[in-house]
Amino acid sequence: MTEIESKKDGGGKVEPIHEPEVVGPSEVLREDVLEEYSLSRFQKIVIKSEYGRKRYLVIEPPLDENDIRIINRIKEIIEYKDESIPLDVLKDERLKKKYIEEETERLLEKLKVPRDKWDKVRYYISRDLAGLGKIDAPMHDDFIEDISCSGVGVPVYVWHIRHGYIPTNIVFSSEEELESIVYKLSVLARKMISVANPSIEGILPDGSRVVCNLGMVSLKGPSFTIRKYTRVPLSVADLIKMNTISAQLAAYFWILIENKKSLVVIGEVGAGKTTLSNALLGFIRKSSKIITIEETPEIRLEGYENWSQKITRESIREDVRSIDLFELVKTALRERPDYVIVGEVRGRESYVLFQSIALGHGGLTTLHADDVESAIKRLTSKPLDIPLYLVSLASAFVKVAKIVTERGEVRRRVITVQEVEALKEGEIVFREVFRYIPETDSIEMVGESIVFKKIAAEHGISIDELYEELSNREQFLAYLSRMEDLDWKRFSDLIERYHIEGRRLLEMLRGEGGS
């Protein structure tokens, strides 16, 4: 793992005693280092504010013309030899890396490269041949979520967790250079990109998603976008801590999920739909049979023994059959699951998913849509084409969004939770139960839950009893969100314990003075 040392604001600067209040040209013209950290011995990141505009700078060892000649020569020899490398070495990332290192070592010796240059040359060779070249640094920077390049001669942009969308000092200066990285990405994603098939979407070996285009589709030449895979799944406790949801909203989700009510999480790409879904799955009882169906393996449910994870398989060979989401959902239903989770609905499979919801299985899915109305529209028109009455069987639609504040801070918040109230005259009537209040940056319960009424009726308890349980669980979750180091698995373990001895746990917490 990369070790990240963070340093605030350009150290050692002496502040004048009387700073002028007004932001004058001197302020605007100042170049400030906002943040600085190292990813490795040869990769340093500096985030600067240049005349009020942020930039992400990758700082690597400087090269003179002679260095560049040496590096290119070694790269040429290794790449030229590539064809004679056994295929199993080429296909295995680790073997390939080792092979490149050994070859470099041999050539440094053979070409009589001065010793003091060795480290630097080794770094660049390995960065370019075993790594992803110019974009290797942001690929290894855990603060970076997205990397995108829209063409030749324009800066690559990154999405930084603390600074949002910012340009970098990485530029591909020729079409060949950019094309070669696009080819490399498509090979890593095991997709064939070509003139006949100039646009691909795939998954890199580390789980990151990539979209690549060759020059024919975009005017500025080839382009690519990488959405990086983040390693640690967030728990509901984390999301409460980050104020993405409130403890009360989390408790509401818990009651719905326990009662196998189904949720559809909507929002834009990168809003946090998958993250929220994965966190909510920690509310499922440990003994439940869970089936998850995805194109990209993103969902992680550690500690669930009765979980079967199904991944669609796209065949690149003609004699091997592709298995699509539709088929997977269909066969999944024969396995009598308690919960069916579809990573993201995109096609025919959504029909079967909603049928399974109709059969009383718990369901959870995400859908790319801006608001509830467009979600319904997407679900009921082609290619999804689900009958409205099936859509109306979902219990609630949850919208999550990425908000960038005036100060450039990035926040992810659940914006609204709307329950399906009724199907009237060919339209679904919604009731908003939770809503985000921007002024206070809080999520408030704004309406009485209809789903709660149904649950109370199903269990033969009064609605007041259910609201009391909501408040108990809210307290319990608020307590969990204040605990240190509560990862996804420990969180779901504690939820299970609550089901077994909730009353005792609550009494203990109250005894401790936890409100």
Ligand X SMILES: Nc1ncnc2c1ncn2[C@@H]1O[C@H](COP(=O)(O)OP(=O)(O)O)[C@@H](O)[C@H]1O
Question: In the complex, which residue's CB is closest to ligand X?
Answer: 272
Residue 101, phi-psi category: left (phi > 0), alpha (psi -120 to 50), beta (remainder): alpha
Nearer to Mg ion, 228 or 273 (CB): 273
Write down the least CB distance from residue 33 to ligand X, Å. 25
Structure tokens at 454: 């149904």
Binding mask 219-258 for Mg ion (x = CB under 5 A): ----------------------------------------
Location of structure tokens 């990769």: 43
Nearest-approach distance from CB 148 to ligand X, in angstroms: 14
The partner in contact with residue 246, picked from ligand X, Mg ion, none with C-beta cut-offs of 5 to 8 angstroms by kind, is: none
Based on CB atoms, which residue is closest to ligand X, 49 or 230? 230
Place of tokens 């918040």: 413
Euclidean distance between CA atoms 411 and 162, whole angstroms: 10
Least distance CB 237 / ligand X (angstroms): 12
Residues whose CB is less than 8 angstroms from the CB of residue 114 and which lie 6 or more positions away in sequence, other chains included? none
Report what 269 binds from Mg ion, ligand X, none; CB cut-off 5-8 Å by kind.
Answer: ligand X
CA distance 221 to 238: 41
Residue with Cβ nearer Mg ion (129 or 271)? 271
Contact 270, 145 (CB under 8 A): yes
Whose Cβ is closer to ligand X: residue 244's or residue 355's? Answer: 244
Question: By C-beta, is 144 or 455 nearer to Mg ion?
Answer: 144
Question: Which partner, Mg ion, ligand X, none, binds residue 282 by CB below 5 to 8 Å per kind?
Answer: none
| Closest C-alpha to 257, from 227, 217, 288 | 288
**Residue 89 to residue 318: CA distance in whole angstroms:** 25
Roughly what angle, to the nearest 10 degrees, separates helices 349-358 and 325-334? Answer: 20
* Of 59, 215, 227, 53, nearest in space to 150 by CA: 215
* For the chain, counts of helices (H) and of strands (E): 17, 19
Distances (CA, A) of 378 to 76, 219, 328, 388, 395: 50, 30, 21, 11, 17
Min separation Cβ 196 and ligand X, Å: 30
- What x/- string results for residues 261 through 300 when contact with Mg ion is judged by CB under 5 A? ------------xx--------------------------
372-407 exposure pattern, b = at least 16 Cβ within 10 A, e = fewer: beebbebbeeeebebeeebbbbbbbbbbbbbeeeee
Residue nearest to Mg ion (CB): 274
**Complex with ligand X: residue 43 or 208, whichever CB lies closer:** 208
The verdict on whether omega for the bond into residue 25 sits within 30 degrees of 0, i.e. cis, is no
* Closer residue to Mg ion in complex, CB, 277/395: 277
Which residue has 């314990």 as its token pair? 497
- Strand 307-311 with 339-342, pairing: unpaired
Smallest separation, CB 276 to ligand X (Å): 6
| Secondary structure (H, E, C), 441-455 | CEEEECCCCHHHHHH
Strand ranges of the sheet holding 362-368, from the earlier edge strand across to the other edge: 307-311, 290-294, 339-342, 362-368, 263-267, 396-404, 410-424, 427-437, 442-445
Of 141 and 145, which has the nearer Cβ to ligand X? 145
Minimum Å distance from CB 293 to ligand X?
15
In the complex, minimum distance from the CB of residue 364 to Mg ion, in angstroms, rounded to a whole number: 12
Query: Taking a C-beta distance cutoff of 8 angstroms, is the pair 19, 8 a contact?
Result: no
The DSSP bridge partners found for residue 402 are: 412
Catalog residues that contact ligand X under the rule CB under 6 A: 145, 230, 239, 242, 244, 267, 269-275, 366, 412
473: partner contacted, choices ligand X, Mg ion, none (Cβ within 5-8 A by kind): none
Retrieve residue 398's tokens. Answer: 């949850």
Report CA-CA distances (Å) from 295 to 336, 403, 459, 506: 21, 27, 37, 40
User: Torsions phi, psi of 398, nearest 5?
Assistant: -120, 125
**Residue 412 contact partner, candidates ligand X, Mg ion, none, CB within 5 to 8 A by sort of partner:** ligand X
| Residue 247: CB minimum distance to ligand X, A | 15
The entry of Mg ion, ligand X, none that residue 242 binds, CB within 5 to 8 Å by partner kind: ligand X
Task: Give whichever of 243 and 331 is closer to ligand X, judged by the CB atom.
Answer: 243
For residues 231 and 336, which CB has a smaller minimum distance to ligand X in the complex? 231
| Shortest Å distance, C-beta 342 to ligand X | 13
Residue 470 and residue 478 in contact, taking contact as beta carbons nearer than 8 Å: no
CB of 435 to ligand X, least distance (A): 18
- Residue closer to ligand X, measured from CB, 163 or 412: 412
Minimum separation from the CB atom of position 268 to ligand X (A): 7
Select 122 or 228, whichever has its Cβ closest to ligand X: 228
Structure letter (DSSP) for residue 390: H
Name residue 323's amino acid. I
Whether the CB-CB separation of 156 and 135 falls below 8 Å is answered with yes
Q: How far is the CB of 365 from Mg ion (least distance, A)?
A: 10
Applying CB under 5 A, which residues contact Mg ion? 273-274
